Amino acid sequence: MSGFVYIIGAGCGAYDLMTVRGINALKKCDAVIYDALIDPALPGYADEKAELICVGKRSGKHSASQEEINSLIVEKALEGRTVARLKGGDPFVFGRGGEEIAQLQKQGIAFEVVPGISSSVAVPGLAGIPVTHRNVSRAFHVITAHTAEGSRDFARYAALEGTLVFLMGYAALREIAEGLIRGGRRNFTPAAVISEGGTAKQRTVRAALADIADAAEKAGLTAPAVIVVGEAAAFDFSCGISKGALDGISVTVTGSGRFTGKTSLLLEENGARVQRYPHVQTVRKGIIPALDGYDCIAFTSSYGAEMFIDHCRENHIDLRSLAGVKIAAVGSGTAETLSSCGLIPDIIPESFYVKDLAEKLASEGVGRVLILRAALGSDELGEILESKGVAYDDVKIYDTVSRGLPPIHFDTDYVVFGSSFGVRSFFENGSGISENTAVVCIGSKTADTASKYTGGRIVTAGQQTAQGILDSIINDRSN
């Protein structure tokens, strides 16, 4: 029995330019076939066990041909899978979605189209350029620089009224500008190029049509880029108000979906342009023992707290049975997770480090302690408790594993890591960073690991929280 295929438009640039319908469809899929230029956070919305297949060009690997992609979609659907074909922009705006659907129809495979936000409208809009404006441009035309015939009729394009929007044309920018002028467009026609639109690295250059190629080259713009030609390109309706202390700063946040989500939101609230790369995930491991006989339960992360709460729910453990048992949390984030279900921590160190939690537990004179933590976490808590004569059981209840996302080279101002495993997984899987990118790490051990993979500048967050990451970047910028 064949499966089902969602042809999903992923929007342009940032993950939050994808529709809610698209996200909901993606969550249902157990196979995701996606383009290279989509936000790397999007495949992370699929089920953790979903097969992720990148068919775009990455790290020197050639992109799959359209015929190969068509065959792959059909193959996965005939295996009975629910397939997401995740395409940049909108499937039907130079996305070749129609060709893929034609193959599904030939095979009798059921499908659904989920429209996406096209870069032809969204990217100029993000740059403050309206593709239409009353009395200036009552129409707009979307043109691909890669025509099926391999030729361009610039005289015909130049004669069109309204705004011209060229996609996939940055390499031919000079040819486009000169061709439009030869075709009748005036030299001083307003033009703009928006590079890497909708991402943390978006940049815009405006100039007269005759000068736009030189201006873009001088600014060092790179593909992908959207080219806008017409009177509307002279407008700048972009936000002119500073959004916060990190306004204009670009940051890549790596790690699990939960970590990248929480940290990214806080950075964005303070003006940063953020790219998420959720390349790792947490999985359950080990069995939580019976809670009888423990005087204190210590949590070293929000993940451990979440899994303990899930364990109590699944095993119908009444939290009232923990009356008299002290709850210890390493930081405010872990404390918030516990408090959300009514477990108010009794012990939280002033500094959010494991060693400080150990010292606090020892000074409180607690009896037997149950430590619930990550398999790859530090042994420091148990070691200090042992040195202080405090009895404990150290139980590893979850593990961190690679998500299997394709490697990417990031060129943002900062890249954030939340664990040593995240650093190792990032670099050993082939991802990299620009020589000008500073590394921000939670904790000294993560920073030590990062120093083995990069010779660039490393910033260590003062507190092991999203707020600590924000504060460390703000302080670094001020210095």
Confirm whether 241 is domain-assigned.
no
Cis status of the peptide bond prior to 224, with omega within 30 of 0: yes
Catalytic residue list contains 57: yes
Same-domain pairing of 293 and 396:
yes
Q: Is residue 245 in some structural domain?
A: no
Q: Is 422 within a domain?
A: yes
> Between 380-387 and 354-364, two packed helices, what is the crossing angle to 10 degrees?
30
Q: Contact 281/257 with Cβ under 8 angstroms?
A: yes
pLDDT digits (tens, 9 = 90+) for 390-415: 888 888 988 888 887 888 899 999 99
Do 21 and 157 share a domain, yes or no? no
Same domain as 134, residue 43: no
Token pair belonging to 191: 């033009």
pLDDT in tens, 274-315: 999 999 988 888 788 888 889 889 888 888 888 888 888 888
Contacts of residue 455, Cβ cutoff 8 Å, sequence gap at least 6? none
The pLDDT score that the predictor gives to residue 59 is 46
Do 384 and 432 lie in one domain? The reply is no
User: What per-residue confidence (pLDDT) applies to 121?
Assistant: 95
Q: Beta-carbon neighbour count of residue 100 at 10 Å?
A: 23
Neighbouring residues of 40: CB distance < 8 A, sequence distance ≥ 6: 275, 276, 277, 278, 279, 405, 408
Q: In terms of domains, do 93 and 28 share one?
A: yes
The verdict on 109 and 85 lying in the same domain is yes
49 is catalytic: no
Same domain, 224 and 291: no
Residues 156 and 47 both lie in one domain: no
What is the CATH classification number for the domain harbouring 125? Answer: 3.30.950.10
Exactly one of 57, 61, 218, 388 is catalytic; which is it?
57
Determine the pLDDT at residue 147: 58
Residue 307 known to be catalytic: no
Q: 433 or 242, which is more confident?
A: 433
pLDDT above 80 for 61? no
Residue 69 pLDDT exceeds 60: yes
Confidence band for 443, pLDDT divided at 50, 70 and 90: confident
244 located within any domain: no
Residues 24-33 have a mean pLDDT of 94
Can you read off the two tokens belonging to residue 211? 């000068």
Among candidate residues 117, 143, 175, the one where a domain is terminated? 117
Catalytic residue selected from 168, 243, 396, 471: 168
Statement: residue 129 has pLDDT above 50 = yes
Phi and psi at 386, nearest 5°, equal -65, -40
Co-location of 264 and 229 in the same domain: no
Asked if residue 126 has pLDDT above 90, the reply is yes
Q: What is the pLDDT of residue 152?
A: 67
Comparing 56 with 20, the larger pLDDT belongs to: 20
Distance separating alpha carbons of residues 299 and 330, to the nearest angstrom:
6
DSSP 469: H
Q: At residue 105, does pLDDT exceed 90?
A: yes
What's 380's domain CATH number?
A: 3.40.50.10090
For the chain, percent of residues with pLDDT exceeding 70:
96
DSSP symbol at 163: E
pLDDT of residue 352: 63
Of 416, 17, 426, 432, nearest to 199 by C-alpha is 17
18, 35, 201, 307: the catalytic one is: 35
For 138-164, the pLDDT digits (tens) are 999 999 876 544 456 788 999 999 999
Whether 388 has a pLDDT exceeding 90, the answer reads no
Lowest average pLDDT, out of 226-230, 352-356, 466-470, goes to: 352-356
Is residue 210 domain-resident? yes
Task: State the alpha helices, DSSP H only, in 290-351.
Answer: 302-314, 332-339
Q: What is the pLDDT of residues 159-195, one digit of tens each?
A: 999 999 999 889 999 999 999 999 999 999 999 999 9
Q: 55-59, 190-194, 247-251: which range is least confident on average?
A: 55-59
Do the Cβ atoms of 52 and 429 come closer than 8 Å? no
In the chain, the number of structural domains is 4
Supply the mean pLDDT for the chain. Answer: 89
- The pLDDT score that the predictor gives to residue 48 is 78
Between CA 306 and CA 314 the distance in angstroms is 12
The dihedrals phi and psi of 284, each to the nearest 5 degrees, come to -65, 150
- Quote the domain boundaries for residue 32: 4-117
